[in-house]
Amino acid sequence: MASNTKPATRKAAIVGGNRIPFARSNSKYAQASNQDMLTATLDGLIARFGLQGKALGEVVAGAVLKHSRDFNLTRESVLGSKLSATTPAYDVQQACGTGLEAALLVANKIALGQIESGIAGGVDTTSDAPLAVNDDLRRVLISLNNAKTVQDRLKALGGFRPGMLAPEIPRNAEPRTGLAMGDHAAITAKQWQIGREEQDELTVRSHHNLAAAYDRGFFDDLVTPFLGLARDQNLRPDSSVEKLAKLAPVFGKGDGATMTAGNSTPLSDGASAVLLASDEWAADQGLPVLAHLVDGQTAAVDYVHGGEGLLMAPVYAMPVMLARNGLTLQDFDFYEIHEAFASTVLATLKAWEDPAFCKEKLGLDAPLGSIDRAKLNVNGSSLAAGHPFAATGGRIVASLAKMLHEAGPGKRGLISICAAGGQGVVAILES
Amino acid sequence: MSDWYRDFANSGFGTTITKQLGLPRPGRLRRYEPGTPLLPGPAVVGSAGEGRLRDTVAAVLKDAGVTVQSPVTADGATDGEKPSAVILDATGLTAPGDLAAAHDFLAPAVKRLRATGRVIVLADPPADASSPAQAAARQALDGLVRSIGKELREGSTANLIYVPAGAEASLASPLRFFLSGRSAYVDGQAVTLSVAELPAGADADKPLAGKVAVVTGAARGIGAAIAKVMARDGAHVVAVDIPAAGDKLAEVANEIGGTAFQLDITADDAPERLIEHLRERHGGVDVVVHNAGITRDKLLVNMDAARWNSVMAVNLQAQLDITQALLDADGVLKPDARVVCVSSQSGIAGNRGQTNYAASKAGVIGMVRAWAPAFAERKATINAVAPGFIVTEMTAKMPLGTREVGSRLNSLQQGGLPVDVAETIAWLSQPGSAGVNGQTVRVCGQSLLGA
């Protein structure tokens, strides 16, 4: 059960962030491992805030696609970075919610006074993906390894078939439905009657907003170049509805299909990190406080049997968090709704506007209502930047914190991120 | 990057060959290492006329633990340790006739000078002379020192320091610099001091301790070397470069325990953002090094507006705008601030294909000269350094012939290193360098170009 009241604690400060530009899959970062990217991202953050040799409370990060060698990914990255080797670290994984969940975990420990500072991050590569030997071959190899006599060994080897050489490739599909995430999203898009044009319009806005943000130097203290990339590789500053209209649908079937490679996020590689701290620690280090992480909420939906859309969990998390904080959906100056697919953002907004859905599914007397679209993803989001799964949360937290800081004190920002497995994470930031 | 020719010329076989063929014989330069003495050997101090700087010189040498030898007369003893420095106090000159005493002192002393030695002449500025004869005598030293610089071999240098009346206290820091390995590639230069209030008690090993220093263009090359030397001398370095160079910048910042600040210094809001950053993170700034620079070479007749404008914007206008904004911003530029601007030999000598670059770098020289009085009023200083042929990634890409010839066209017969420029800038940034203001110091090994 979600808590309905907030205990008296301090709020964790967001000091700043760093990420590497996001690359398209199998391109600029094809040779970079998760550890390479996370370490470089940490080092960029360390350089920005002068953290060389410092021991922080902890570093929490994760990756969705991990090699077995990455079992202690975050700690190994810390050891490879310029931080003090006495900084503890642990990995988390909550699909696309990883980055934001990591920030909540660090913020909560700061709020409780257990640590004074910490870094939350995430990294993913779809290029340097873990290929595994398939289960049949794996069993043969394990039997071979366990065999004690020559006879046993030969017997074990006798079980080998050439077909076993085909590797296990990680798939961007839900294990319980066999459907790709995009196909799930297409079902939701159809259910909520999300049109092609509004998806393309949202996509174009994302590209234009991100390009403008780069041009005015917004990312100068949020991004550090990596392997020859200084801006997100997926960014198309000259994107237009006309150009996007030419793309054929790739998810969903038949005439009603609306989701294309343009209005869906591409597979991408990248990493992000956010520096969180207590106000006292930040002041002590002469570091700024951009915003505070006020609250967060996670929810999950039964997309397998329950009839809810795979990516709709944030819709459920939101009213719980708003009620706990005595806020309405309209009480925010910026909205950051992760653009897994343009249709996901639009379906989410539509659900909050729908009286019947809000009453029946969310148990609300009145719908959460609509938001001012001019406040949505004002510096671009995943459709333009790309979406290395676990890195998206850190990208959003750091960018939103900076936006709130620029807007002045007392401003509020809302984050909503959907994740595989029917999960979702939402959070409130305040300057 | 190693200087293969210098190494060859200093080898046993190479010495024979280069001597017989009359080829250049570049010596190994003595560069500063923390913890090493100011001079490897003793110093000989003498004067022409009644000098007034003996006490200051003696104090500096004593403080540095340098043994002082008496002047050697032409027929005098030549025993004892060979000197590493020859210092002539020529502040007593009244007329050209007195110069004979300078010759009498210098000739035998310089003859005994060991490798990587230093010849330093101290004089009053010619402009302050009370008679044309006195002005002539003082100006004559300029020709004398420059010629000595060209005659010295084995990494030795000769420099001239003009010390106006009342500026005696200003001499200590420049004298230490020119004696030390920090000035390895500064040769044949004349620096004019000014009267200034000197801060008390500087840490000789960490002269920049507690200072916040901004270095633009710090991601690589000379800028990275400046950042490293500043950090070595105790400063917290705010390393600035364009966002696209951010990865290299972060590496530099992490190596020296500084911070990286990605900023396009030509952006309209760049001064404002830099000031905001310095105010918020560091409560102000003590040292600003305008190092960022670009080249866009083309012959004048082929040069388009984009090439001209971009070079001017980065190399000159940004320095002006940021400096002005720092002066205007309340409390950001500390009262005893140091601003050091990177000019270039091209700005002094001109260079074919570099009308834009040379114009911008000459502009820098005019800028520091014009700003010096205003800086002096706030007990601050603004100076420029003009690097000559400095061996960097950029020069490594030059054709071998051009590079070899270019690097030998100076009295030290070799290219300088980025650290040589950095040492000079770090020296100008020291609190003790308060009496060096509005100057342009060439770091060129006494280049033949523009001399």
Q: Hey, what domains does chain A have and what are their CATH numbers?
A: 132-168 (no CATH), 181-217+294-430 (3.40.47.10)
Of B228, B247, B259, which to mutate for an interface test with A (greatest number of A Cβ within 10 Å)? B247
**How confident is the model at residue B256, as a pLDDT?**
98
**How confident is the model at residue A2, as a pLDDT?**
55
Contact B246 A223 (CB under 8 A): yes
Residue position matching structure tokens 């793309």: A247
- Choose one of B141, B164, B192: the last residue of a domain: B192
Do B345 and B239 share a structural domain? Answer: yes
Annotated active-site residue A418? The verdict is: yes
Do B133 and B216 share a structural domain? Answer: no
Identify all chain B residues contacting A39, using CB atoms and an 8 Å cutoff.
none
Annotated active-site residue A387? The verdict is: yes
Q: Please tell me if residue A223 touches chain B, with a CB cutoff of 8 Å.
A: yes
Give the pair of three-digit tokens for residue B182: 């920090």
Q: Helices (H), strands (E): how many in chain B?
A: 16, 13
**How confident is the model at residue A4, as a pLDDT?**
59
Q: Please tell me if residue A54 touches chain B, with a CB cutoff of 8 Å.
A: no
Do B219 and B187 share a structural domain? Answer: no
Q: Cα dist. A426→A11, A129, B135, B224 in Å?
A: 16, 28, 80, 43
Do B158 and B247 share a structural domain? Answer: no
Q: Give tens-digit pLDDT for B119-151.
A: 999 999 999 999 999 999 999 999 999 999 999
C-alpha to C-alpha distance for A125 and B285, rounded to whole angstroms: 41
Specify which residues A12 forms β-bridges with.
A293
| Nearest-Cα residue of chain A relative to residue B273 | A217
Do B250 and B312 share a structural domain? Answer: yes
The tally of domains found in chain B comes to: 3
Phi, psi (5° rounding) for residue B29?
-85, 150
Under DSSP, the state recorded for A96 is B
Q: Give tens-digit pLDDT for B155-196.
A: 999 999 999 999 999 999 999 999 999 999 999 999 999 999
Burial label, A31 (beta-carbon count in 10 A; 0-12, 13-18, 19+)? exposed
- Choose one of B136, B163, B192: the last residue of a domain: B192
**How confident is the model at residue B388, as a pLDDT?**
95
Contact A50 B257 (CB under 8 A): yes
**How confident is the model at residue A7, as a pLDDT?**
57
C-alpha to C-alpha distance for B334 and A74, rounded to whole angstroms: 41
* Number of neighbouring beta carbons within 10 Å of residue A19: 33
pTM, to two decimals: 0.91
CATH of the domain at B418: 3.40.50.720
Mean pLDDT, residues B386-413 taken together = 88
Counting residues of chain B whose pLDDT is more than 90, the rounded percentage is 83
Residue span of the structural domain in which B286 resides: 212-443
Query: In Å, how far from its chain's centre is CA A134?
Result: 29
**How confident is the model at residue B205, as a pLDDT?**
84
Residue position matching structure tokens 């004696």: B179
**How confident is the model at residue B19, as a pLDDT?**
79
Q: Count A/B contacts: CB-CB distance under 8 Å.
A: 67
* Number of neighbouring beta carbons within 10 Å of residue B337: 22
Mean pLDDT lowest among A412-416, B66-70, B200-204, B261-265: B200-204
CA atoms within 13 A on the CB side of B397: 2
Identify all chain B residues contacting A46, using CB atoms and an 8 Å cutoff.
250, 254
**How confident is the model at residue A130, as a pLDDT?**
67
Is the model's pLDDT at A170 over the cut of 80? no
Burial label, B96 (beta-carbon count in 10 A; 0-12, 13-18, 19+)? middle
Q: Nearest-CA distance from B92 to chain A in Å? A: 52
**How confident is the model at residue A171, as a pLDDT?**
67
- Choose one of B126, B161, B192: the last residue of a domain: B192
Do B101 and B6 share a structural domain? Answer: no
Instruction: Decide: A291 and A398 in contact? Cβ < 8 Å.
Output: no
Instruction: Decide: B9 and B24 in contact? Cβ < 8 Å.
Output: yes
Counting residues of chain B whose pLDDT is more than 70, the rounded percentage is 97
Residue position matching structure tokens 């301090």: A10
Contact A48 B250 (CB under 8 A): yes
Give the pair of three-digit tokens for residue B252: 């530099």
Q: Give tens-digit pLDDT for B299-354.
A: 999 999 999 999 999 999 999 999 999 999 999 999 899 999 999 999 999 999 99
Do B144 and B94 share a structural domain? Answer: yes
Do B123 and B93 share a structural domain? Answer: yes
Q: Give tens-digit pLDDT for B261-276.
A: 999 999 999 999 999 9
Contact B246 A225 (CB under 8 A): yes
Q: Please tell me if residue A84 touches chain B, with a CB cutoff of 8 Å.
A: no
Contact A82 B254 (CB under 8 A): yes
Annotated active-site residue B5? The verdict is: no
Specify which residues A91 forms β-bridges with.
A61
Do B223 and B366 share a structural domain? Answer: yes
Q: Nearest-CA distance from A290 to chain B in Å? A: 12
Residue A399 identity (one-letter amino acid): S
**How confident is the model at residue A8, as a pLDDT?**
64
Q: Cα dist. B304→A160, B318, B351, B360 in Å?
A: 70, 20, 18, 16
Residue of A207, A208, A387, A405 marked catalytic: A387
**How confident is the model at residue B241, as a pLDDT?**
98
C-alpha to C-alpha distance for A352 and A372, rounded to whole angstroms: 13
Residue B201 within any structural domain of the chain = no
**How confident is the model at residue B109, as a pLDDT?**
94
Which candidate, A50, A95, A104, places its Cα nearest to that of A297? A104
Residue B448 within any structural domain of the chain = no
Instruction: Decide: A413 and A430 in contact? Cβ < 8 Å.
Output: yes
**How confident is the model at residue B332, as a pLDDT?**
96
Identify all chain B residues contacting A49, using CB atoms and an 8 Å cutoff.
259
Do B164 and B78 share a structural domain? Answer: yes
Helix (H) or strand (E) holding A250: strand A249-251
Q: Please tell me if residue A44 touches chain B, with a CB cutoff of 8 Å.
A: yes
Contact B247 A226 (CB under 8 A): yes
Q: Mean pLDDT score of chain A, rounded to an integer? A: 92
Give the pair of three-digit tokens for residue A76: 């190994």
Contact B253 A47 (CB under 8 A): yes
Q: Mean pLDDT score of chain B, rounded to an integer? A: 93
C-alpha to C-alpha distance for A63 and A123, rounded to whole angstroms: 5
**How confident is the model at residue A214, as a pLDDT?**
97
Residue B382 within any structural domain of the chain = yes
Q: Give tens-digit pLDDT for A190-208.
A: 889 999 999 999 999 999 9
Strands (E), B229-300: 236-241, 259-262, 285-290
Identify all chain A residues contacting B244, using CB atoms and an 8 Å cutoff.
225, 230
Do B183 and B121 share a structural domain? Answer: yes
Q: Give tens-digit pLDDT for A202-240.
A: 999 999 999 999 999 999 999 999 999 999 999 999 999
**How confident is the model at residue B284, as a pLDDT?**
96
**Residue A113, C-beta contacts closer than 8 angstroms, at least 6 positions apart:** A9, A10, A278
**How confident is the model at residue A136, as a pLDDT?**
79
Burial label, B84 (beta-carbon count in 10 A; 0-12, 13-18, 19+)? buried
C-alpha to C-alpha distance for A41 and A224, rounded to whole angstroms: 8
**How confident is the model at residue B221, as a pLDDT?**
94
**How confident is the model at residue B412, as a pLDDT?**
93
Q: Give tens-digit pLDDT for B48-71.
A: 988 899 999 999 999 999 999 877
Give the pair of three-digit tokens for residue A314: 């944030």
Do B331 and B299 share a structural domain? Answer: yes
Counting residues of chain A whose pLDDT is more than 90, the rounded percentage is 76
Q: Give tens-digit pLDDT for A83-131.
A: 999 999 999 999 999 999 999 999 999 999 999 999 999 999 987 766 6
**Residue A80, C-beta contacts closer than 8 angstroms, at least 6 positions apart:** A35, A39
Residue position matching structure tokens 């350094």: B385
Is the model's pLDDT at B199 over the cut of 90? no
Mean pLDDT lowest among A40-49, B204-213, B238-247: B204-213
Residue B203 within any structural domain of the chain = no
Residue of A184, A207, A338, A418 marked catalytic: A418
**How confident is the model at residue B144, as a pLDDT?**
97
